[in-house]
Amino acid sequence: MLKTDVVQKEVTETVSTSHRTTARGSEHLLKGDDFMPDYKIEVMEAYVRSLREGKERSIWTTCIKRKQRKAI
């Protein structure tokens, strides 16, 4: 299993274990600093390279930029 697979699995578990009431029941979407995973920037960049263009890729790119700003 690749590191990116582990990252995706952990993120999926994090999102699916939290909750938010919707028409489909209870689910939760983490936003901002709550969503930002605790991974090294290099690992996150490797994962982003494996993603196709779309919402998930833009969310991860935003997380990387936010993490870089906090590191400065």
Q: Domain containing 38: what range?
A: 3-71
d(CA 32, CA 66): 9
Which pLDDT value is given to residue 37?
Answer: 66
- The more confident residue out of 64 and 7 is 64
Q: Are the C-beta atoms of 30 and 56 separated by less than 8 Å?
A: no
DSSP string spanning the chain?
--HHHHHHHHHHHHHHHS--EETTEE-----GGGT--SS-HHHHHHHHHHSPSSHHHHHHHHHHHHHHHHH-
Number of separate domains in the chain: 1
pLDDT tens digit sequence for 9-59: 665 555 555 555 555 554 455 555 556 667 888 888 888 988 888 888 888
